[in-house]
Structure 1
Amino acid sequence: MKIYLFLFIFCISTGANGQWSKIENDPFPLHRSQKALSDIIVSDIFSPPVASRIFVYSNIAAYEIQAKSNSQFQSLKGQLNGFNGIPNADNKQISYSLAATYAYWQVAKRLVFSDQVALDSLNSILLWYKIKGYPETVVQNSILYGKKVSDSILRWVDQDQYKETRKLRRYSIVKKEGSWAPTPPGYMAAVEPYWNKIRPLCMKTADQFKPSPPPAYSRDKNSAFYKTANEVYLTGKNLNDEQLNIAKFWDCNPFFLNVNGHMNYATKKISPGAHWISIAGIACKLKTFNYIQSSFAYTSTCIALFDAFISCWDEKYRSNYIRPETFINSNIDENWQPILQTPPFPEYPSGHSVASTSAAYILTKIFGDNFKFQDNTEVDYGLPIRSFTSFDQAAKEAAISRLYGGIHYRPAIENGQIQGRDIGKHQTEKIIMQKK
């Protein structure tokens, strides 16, 4: 009888093991995590640079665990600045998928304000694993390993100078003609003026890909600067329906301030980086990538976005360039308003141009050129799906949307694209994640 009972229990346990091991490569937990974290970032109203920091460290935690389980992928140890890798697993009875997802959320939970919402998302995904038949022993072993890894990642995160920048003195507006000044309706304070002090991941320094300087400020109607400002003015007054749709689709303003009498309230939207992380997910699903392949795509994209915002913000507060709205209202038409709300930081270069181009460069390397996809990222925010024939086409549309929206001059867009392409190219030359 004891022998039969032992065989029965053995069959049950091996059957369960067979069930859960077959879905170890299911990317659902990772895709669900990206969307849930994006929603939290929107709710918490993080700026685009800070949002990129939350995404990249969470994704690196998940990727590093996955790389331990697959010889086709290589750790980022020694490839990212200051990163010395993660500990090995102490127990062989673990799910690398579950451990990676747990580490993802442990890192994310530390970096967002809504930590309880993050914990709820994690618990929901852990329930998914249990429903799929993961044995409790495997679940607990995986959680312990995920915690061990996330602790090591967070020690590295704590050295990136973020905490130090929180203690720096408030940014003082430069009172010089042609310099940036806060814009209506909120006249909000400068966003992340010290972001160039944050440790890059792949770049050596924040100014490694410093763009060419913008045209010299001038009120002379024959000057290059005045002509670029007048182009923004005339473009905004003569937009066709398609240009207007493009401007709205790529707005990606995390904090749109609504003013109604004496009442101000925010409309929360997705950030530029989160939009491109969503595109990475769309591509992964179209190619039916498994967990580690998807993790590779997400993490590569996040690294490019993170360095792009450091590089972009470094130049923004160096050139400290005046926004179109400020100049046009003072020198061309005092009643003119841009289609999009002017964000609270200097104009040059265009953040969306730098970030979009760097992300598109990485995604093209992974999925190939002429990759057709339908971008439904903005559906949650009341906008229709847009179709693209390549990542490059999408990035170019995102860049030119800033001219249509009235918040950037053309040089900020075109030089930003060069800057973003250089950042993406540098990353592909320096970092090896997938072995050939």
Structure 2
Amino acid sequence: MLKKICSILLITVAFASCTKEETPLTVTPDDYNNAVDKVTEVIIHDIFSPPVASRIYAYSNMAAYEVLVQNHPEYKSLAGQIHELGETPKPDAETAVNYDVAALVAQMEMAKSLIFSEDRITEMRDSLYMQWEEQNPTELAASKAYGLQVADHIKAWMDGDMYKQTRTMPKFSVNPDNPSRWQPTPPAYMDGIEPHWMKIRTLVIDSADQFMPIPPPEFSMEEGSEFHKQLMEVYDVRNAMTEEGDDSEKMEIAKFWDCNPYVSTHKGHLMFATKKITPGGHWIGIVKIATKKVNADLMETVYVYTKTSVALFDGFISCWDEKYRSNLIRPETLINQYIDDAWAPVLQTPPFPEYSSGHSVVSGAAAEVLTQIYGDNFQFDDDTETAYGLPVRSFDSFRNASSEAALSRLYGGIHYRAAIEEGLKQGRQLGQFVAQNLQMKSNTAQASN
């Protein structure tokens, strides 16, 4: 009798599990924002350089976009537009793929393959998988398989971008006998970061030197020369700045756009890093702010992240090409050597040559893409830096934000004016090129946007 009752119970449980209704899976724009935020968190934790961080953002967003575009005919694939990127594989017609889920799977898989702290992405991924498995295991299996298939497609293409080869190339050689050439700066005196980044395959621009800026002012420590004037401007602006008073906003602007992942703090014999967001990460944060403000759906959200991150990626290649060509010495080095050995900038000088300004280039590039998408009078409140104890700053447009980001480098004491102004031009020209040449929406969709 007991065996009979147990058999009936087992059959009942089995029947209930077989007839359990599966709930369609959903992925919201906030789910995707959270996944991108997790990437930013890991980039900060692992202390990736600004150029390398841009690569992580670009490839992970591109993978998600290439999944979603299969289900959105109003958008265009990146295949044939991004250098050497072939057609994205299609899912099997018989499988019930949820493209939104597959896109998030692809994004997480790509991000996990590009960072060190894989466990941080894996933990988020497994939590989502557990929820989805409970709701609809059939849909999850099909969507997961397709998301991983697209991620593998992007990985195979990514392998040809020269990144692996640059890992084994020699360090940058400093020339201490040439007074105009870059030298490592305090307090850590780090080697020049990513001296071979210009060899990385571009995404949309034709070559690393396509938007090469004019040369910096000719090096001269003679009073009255253009170079010496710009050096003294950095010195004088810093000396006039205070935490309070008329120049207090300059201090706020400098700190708001710091975005230096290499800040070192020294206490006695101890040295430790203060981890911060990168310049690209700041603009990825602005993408989140903009898409949330317009209540963008998932497809639009991923589209904006992707196009912006492509501009950031190409922007860093363009900028680093010029940095290690002109190889210009930083203001801090010259001021300490020739003017005031006790002088220090507001911001720590990052470990690479001065010209052109990286923040100016990538801010200009990102702002042009975002302006193409949302217009030139897009007001937003930038809370990207609140995690670092900095107040919200408000802007009337993306271009205004990029102008302030560029000027922050003068206030921070880490760039001459030429690097700022020419860097901003360089970035805006590059951003306009990406905006015009990377066609991710059909003409009909663009007209209705």
Q: TM-score, normalised by structure 1?
A: 0.94
CA drift of 1:387 comes to 1.0
Is residue 179–residue 321 contact of structure 1 (8 Å, CA) maintained in 2? yes
For 1:156, the equivalent position in structure 2 comes to 157
User: 1:252 is paired with a residue of what secondary structure?
Assistant: coil
Structure 2 gaps of 5+ residues are 1-15, 242-246, 444-449
Report whether the alignment pairs 1:213 with 2:215: yes
User: 1:97 is paired with a residue of what secondary structure?
Assistant: helix
The Cα offsets for residues 188-217 of structure 1, whole Å up to 9 and x where unpaired, read as: 111000000000000111001000000011
Partners of 1:104 and 1:429 in 2: CA distance: 25
User: 1:87 is paired with a residue of what secondary structure?
Assistant: coil
For 1:146, the equivalent position in structure 2 comes to 147
Report whether the alignment pairs 1:180 with 2:182: yes
Is residue 45–residue 254 contact of structure 1 (8 Å, CA) maintained in 2? yes
Partners of 1:265 and 1:128 in 2: CA distance: 39
Report whether the alignment pairs 1:402 with 2:409: yes
Which residue among 406, 414, 420 is the counterpart of 1:413? 420
Is residue 372–residue 387 contact of structure 1 (8 Å, CA) maintained in 2? yes
Partners of 2:357 and 2:289 in 1: CA distance: 25
Is residue 277–residue 298 contact of structure 1 (8 Å, CA) maintained in 2? yes
Which residue among 274, 289, 300 is the counterpart of 2:281? 274
Which residue among 359, 368, 374 is the counterpart of 2:375? 368
Where does 1:166-205 land on structure 2 (aligned, <5 Å)?
166-175=167-176, 176-205=178-207
Structure 1 stretches (4+) deviating beyond 2 angstroms?
Answer: 8-14, 124-131
Report whether the alignment pairs 1:242 with 2:242: no
Is residue 29–residue 125 contact of structure 1 (8 Å, CA) maintained in 2? no
Partners of 1:389 and 1:247 in 2: CA distance: 19
For 1:5, the equivalent position in structure 2 comes to none
For 2:13, the equivalent position in structure 1 comes to none
The Cα offsets for residues 78-112 of structure 1, whole Å up to 9 and x where unpaired, read as: 00011003100114411101111111111111110
CA drift of 1:129 comes to 4.1
Is residue 47–residue 271 contact of structure 1 (8 Å, CA) maintained in 2? yes
For 1:358, the equivalent position in structure 2 comes to 365
CA drift of 1:130 comes to 5.0
User: 2:385 is paired with a residue of what secondary structure?
Assistant: helix
Where does 1:42-57 land on structure 2 (aligned, <5 Å)?
42-57=44-59
Report whether the alignment pairs 1:101 with 2:104: yes
For 1:342, the equivalent position in structure 2 comes to 349
Where does 1:65-144 land on structure 2 (aligned, <5 Å)?
65-90=67-92, 91-129=94-132, 133=135, 135-144=136-145
Q: 1:213 to 1:289 in 2, by over 3 A?
A: same
For 1:386, the equivalent position in structure 2 comes to 393
For 1:319, the equivalent position in structure 2 comes to 326
Partners of 2:297 and 2:402 in 1: CA distance: 25
CA drift of 1:127 comes to 4.0
Is residue 98–residue 129 contact of structure 1 (8 Å, CA) maintained in 2? no
Partners of 1:226 and 1:163 in 2: CA distance: 40
CA drift of 1:184 comes to 0.6
The Cα offsets for residues 277-306 of structure 1, whole Å up to 9 and x where unpaired, read as: 010011000000011100000000000000
For 2:10, the equivalent position in structure 1 comes to none
Partners of 2:282 and 2:128 in 1: CA distance: 23
Q: How many percent identity over aligned positions?
A: 47
Partners of 2:317 and 2:99 in 1: CA distance: 32
CA drift of 1:125 comes to 3.2
Partners of 1:356 and 1:88 in 2: CA distance: 35
For 2:264, the equivalent position in structure 1 comes to 257
The Cα offsets for residues 244-275 of structure 1, whole Å up to 9 and x where unpaired, read as: 00000000011210011110000000000010
CA drift of 1:408 comes to 0.2
Partners of 1:203 and 1:167 in 2: CA distance: 25
CA drift of 1:9 comes to 10
Amino acid at match of 1:154: K
209-218 or 84-93, larger mean C-alpha shift: 84-93
Partners of 1:11 and 1:362 in 2: CA distance: 49
The Cα offsets for residues 315-349 of structure 1, whole Å up to 9 and x where unpaired, read as: 00000001000111112212110000000000000
Q: 1:322 to 1:298 in 2, by over 3 A?
A: same
Q: 1:153 to 1:371 in 2, by over 3 A?
A: same
The Cα offsets for residues 100-136 of structure 1, whole Å up to 9 and x where unpaired, read as: 11111111111100011111122233345457x4x11
For 2:62, the equivalent position in structure 1 comes to 60
For 2:244, the equivalent position in structure 1 comes to none
Amino acid at match of 2:254: A
CA drift of 1:166 comes to 0.5
Partners of 1:224 and 1:211 in 2: CA distance: 17
Partners of 1:357 and 1:428 in 2: CA distance: 12
